[in-house]
Structure 1
Amino acid sequence: MKKIYIIILTLSMSLVSCDQWLEIEPEYTQDAENFFNTEEDFQRAVIGVYDLMQTNYLQIWIGEIASDNSIAGGESVNDTQGLHEIDNMTHGGVNNELRDVMRFNYTGIARANFIFENENKIDFASKERLMAEISFIRAYFYFTLVNYFGDMPLIVDRRISINEVFQIDRTPKAEIYAQIERDLDRAIQELNWTNPELGRITKGAALALKGKVLLYQQKFSEAAQVFDELISTNQANYALVSDMNTMWLAVNQNRSEDVFTIQHSGLQGGDYGCLVCLQGNPAVGFHSIRNYVGPFYADGNSYNLPTQNLYDFFGNDPRRQVTILDLDAFIAAQPNPDDISYAVGGGGHTGYFNNKYIKRAAERGLPDDDLTSQLNYRAIRFADVLLMAAEAFAQTGNDARARVELNKVRQRAGVAEITSSGAQLLEDIYRERRLELSGEGLRFWDLVRTGKAAEAIPGFQVGKHELFPIPQVEIDLAGGRWSQNPGY
């Protein structure tokens, strides 16, 4: 039928005179080769690169569920089975969530590379800023891939043909890190500290991510220098917000503590078949209380449930109630507890919920509001910057400066200052990271990079689980050139 349609279309065209044909201007038709002719073309393409960062829900899930902070939860153990396998450390090369991580990040890289390929096609006033923004985002995508999978194919500034897919090998992660640093240096050099358009990448975000990248490579001296520049210069006026209890409400987004934030909107819907198509934050609905009927919160799917281990770890630290919703205690404290109900999912139940990224009745987006939360993902906030700085300073022997940055975070939390030094100070910083940042998708990576994963995560095998497996389907699509990560 397609061939018949083309023949009919061709014959119909032949009946039109040349003059008539030349006057026709086909609407809404544009291909890759005649794009990037205007500043608007570049602006639209850059937004397309930003768009792929909204797959951050995978980071929140896997970064918490793979650690000792939470269990997968959900309707059953077969509901999003890949998360349950990651939870149990039984994941292998066939895992939908891990394949999504690889596909989504490489899609974002491909979009960025297409723009870089056409960088010199035209000039306009905002071009250097736009190129710096996507330099940052490409670095962020590659950093994510290296953390998950280690060595990965490195492709920059160009598209690749289908034939090249069968010829590209995995690049050593040291080379990928070098490219990440080059991209971030470009972003740091070109970007301003602030941007009037919310969500745009800034110099502060680029400095923060570079410091994090250096820290993950154990380049502690270089990381300390970058964090010192960010904290000391601070022309964006980053600061810890005073009220931890309300900072995770939607009305308190894009405040002084937000250094690198991925924006979401509750105004555009979608469906479960394409979470990457959403503009909302689907993690929020997935984290929320199954079949909940009651005040303040709203119903959801009961995923990514905090563990008893995490709840007990907080002790009396006031950040426990900020981080974890103890649902039964919350219900018991209401004036009408008998009127409040919820369901327990077959995928596991702890009684606790992620109180940072949870659906609240007053913050619902458009239907299906499980998928359209307006809550942004705080990829790097200033508290994280201070704790990373403290770690870098402690690792380079500057205990006094490390305590200064660490205690800024503890002072905001209303807990006693740390006075330790040496190895104990470093342990206190690691402990503080869990107290401050749990629920935000960072715990697994902290455990891995500090060598503490095996003692904290049941089933974790040293030499294997530091990396996730390359999706087998991607190995097959590459013609079997790529070796699988050790142990899988």
Structure 2
Amino acid sequence: MKKIISISLLSLAMLSLLQCSDERFDILPNNQDAPSTIFTTESNYRLVLDGAYDAFKSPTYYNGDTGSSIILGDVLADNLILNPQGRQTNKKAYEWSYTPQDNAVTALYASAYQVISRANYVLDNLNKVPYTNFMKNVEAEAKAIRAIAHFDLVRAYAKIPTQSSGASSSLGIAYVTTFNPEIKPSRDATVTASYDKIIADLQDALAKINANNGSIGRLNKTSILGFLSRVYLYKGDYNNAVLYGEQCIAANPSVGTNANFINIWRDASDDGELFTILNSNLSTDNVTVGVAYNQNSSGIRSEYNVDYDLFNKYGGTGANADIRKPAYLLTANFGSIPYNHVIKYRSRTGSTVGQVVDIKFLRSAEVYLNVAEAYMKSTAPNPTRALQLLNILRTQRYGTTDSPYVPGTETGTALLNAIYNERRLELAFENDRFWTIKRLGQSVVRSDFGSSANGGGGDAPTGALKTLPAGNFRFVLPIPQDAINLNPNLVQNTGY
């Protein structure tokens, strides 16, 4: 752990030049400085805190070809199929053949602790100036950032409470709450303990954070409510998932309108976004987050294509027309072969720089789905409200002006399955699918289709690539071996 946390100390570059344009910010690294000289003014705390946000764009968190969270949750699951004409990145993740030495699944570990260490650097130095309302908000943002990164770690490197009996009492993660390069923390004794710490940080942040922090690239009260709905859903505390999710929906009810939806993915609209990692076209930023999916090389050269079974689930014409299909997918040749490409992260309106777009970390559409599912599973089920929330989302995704969507009327198990189906379609390629399958205690079962646009190609998953059975140890990713070598207090996950 010493080496992992020290990475952020070396790269902190804490005193940064902040440039604001259209309520968007970019962090431009400067020379590292000591706390006694950095933490002298409230504005400097803001600069350092924005550096913590910026760390979400570090290589292998939401940046880079291998192990990036932009693709990890889908390549491990059933939404994607390896393209034989790609560069074979993340192949061991796709094949479920990873080990503690494989960057394809271990890269997030160090990157998330880098985010955490930057947040802790702020929190450890709050006492350098008077504790004003501004500083209370700084504290809240830093605690929320710390909680979000720890959540990404715990769902990947530990069991999810709802996936099986006994999961809650299994080993948690190392929850780090101080900036100390010498620290060698142990993992929490239980997953429940890790979730409780995440929730405590988010609850404290909720009590202190501003309603509006001036940019969609910074956390605020509404986005914290949304994250609480996510964490409580994963914990299996469905009553609280409803409680905080409904407050989030009341504060930001738009799921992203049909008219705006394509523009959301081209960075021409922020409709329905709750928290976004901003990514400029400046030479100092320019993070090509979409490169994990494909590159522009005499056409679209994809690393992975949309599984044909999923491709066919997106509707066709009239009342079944699904706006997500043109927003997310494009059928085009690479060489002489047509493929179904993921284009969510391919281009920004008005820009000639490929793959550089903002990262939609949390959207209100997810919160609607969180709450709808939680209503079906809470101690006081409310299927009427669950269906209402689902139909609000579906009304903005299906149909045309001439042939509008006809609201669904599902009940019982059919309604719950409709919520699951809509979650897969809505959050495809947003680092959700594998974790949802894991959370529900299901198996990953890939289709029989190949990689070409019509499902052919002769490269359909078979044998060990076809199914990852529920409960398989590989649903919990391995702790990087170099982290264990540096910190003997860490315990490796079972099976590795």
TM-score > 0.5 by shorter chain: yes
Structure 2 contact 268–348 (Cα < 8 Å) conserved? no
- Cα distance in 2 for residues equivalent to 1:327 and 1:94: 36
* SS of residue paired to 2:126: coil
- Cα distance in 2 for residues equivalent to 1:382 and 1:74: 36
- Cα distance in 2 for residues equivalent to 1:361 and 1:222: 39
- Cα distance in 1 for residues equivalent to 2:92 and 2:135: 44
Mapping for residues 334-413 of structure 1, pairs under 5 Å: 342-343=334-335, 351-359=339-347, 362-365=350-353, 369=354, 373=356, 375-396=357-378, 397-413=381-397
- Asked if 1:51 corresponds to 2:66, the answer is no
Q: CA shift at 1:264, angstroms?
A: 1.0
CA deviations on 1:5-47 (whole Å, 9 max, x unpaired) are: xxxxxxxxxxxxxxxxxxxxxx978324544222233122101
Matched residue, 2:282: 267
Q: CA shift at 1:169, angstroms?
A: 4.2
* SS of residue paired to 2:473: coil
* SS of residue paired to 2:262: coil
Q: CA shift at 1:355, angstroms?
A: 2.4
Q: CA shift at 1:115, angstroms?
A: 1.4
- Cα distance in 2 for residues equivalent to 1:94 and 1:259: 35
1:446 and 1:416, CA in 2 relative to 1: closer, same or farther beyond 3 A? farther
Matched residue, 2:263: 247
1:442 and 1:208, CA in 2 relative to 1: closer, same or farther beyond 3 A? same
- Cα distance in 2 for residues equivalent to 1:464 and 1:59: 20
* SS of residue paired to 2:174: coil
Task: Report the aligned-residue RMSD.
Answer: 2.6
Structure 1 contact 290–343 (Cα < 8 Å) conserved? no
Matched residue, 1:433: 423
- Cα distance in 2 for residues equivalent to 1:28 and 1:225: 44
Structure 2 residue identity aligned to 1:321: P
TM-score normalised over the length of structure 1? 0.78
Matched residue, 1:143: 151
- Cα distance in 1 for residues equivalent to 2:38 and 2:329: 48
- Cα distance in 2 for residues equivalent to 1:238 and 1:360: 22
Q: Percent identity?
A: 24
Question: Which of 70, 95, 98 is the equivalent residue of 1:91?
Answer: 98
Structure 2 contact 210–220 (Cα < 8 Å) conserved? yes
- Cα distance in 2 for residues equivalent to 1:148 and 1:28: 34
Structure 1 contact 106–141 (Cα < 8 Å) conserved? yes
- Asked if 1:464 corresponds to 2:473, the answer is yes
Structure 2 contact 280–286 (Cα < 8 Å) conserved? yes
- Asked if 1:218 corresponds to 2:227, the answer is no
The number of residues matched between the two structures is 414
Q: CA shift at 1:389, angstroms?
A: 1.1
1:400 and 1:65, CA in 2 relative to 1: closer, same or farther beyond 3 A? same
Matched residue, 2:113: 106
- Cα distance in 1 for residues equivalent to 2:436 and 2:429: 13
- Cα distance in 1 for residues equivalent to 2:331 and 2:85: 19
- Cα distance in 2 for residues equivalent to 1:94 and 1:28: 33
1:263 and 1:28, CA in 2 relative to 1: closer, same or farther beyond 3 A? closer
The answer to which of 241-250 and 417-426 deviates more is 241-250
Question: Which of 136, 159, 170 is the equivalent residue of 2:179?
Answer: 159
Matched residue, 1:120: 127
Q: CA shift at 1:420, angstroms?
A: 1.8
TM-score normalised over the length of structure 2? 0.77
- Cα distance in 2 for residues equivalent to 1:67 and 1:46: 34
Structure 2 contact 255–393 (Cα < 8 Å) conserved? no
- Cα distance in 1 for residues equivalent to 2:330 and 2:427: 15
Unaligned runs of 5+ in 2: 1-29, 159-171, 399-404, 447-464
Q: CA shift at 1:171, angstroms?
A: 4.7
CA deviations on 1:426-484 (whole Å, 9 max, x unpaired) are: 111001111222122211111111122344582414231221111112111113x3332
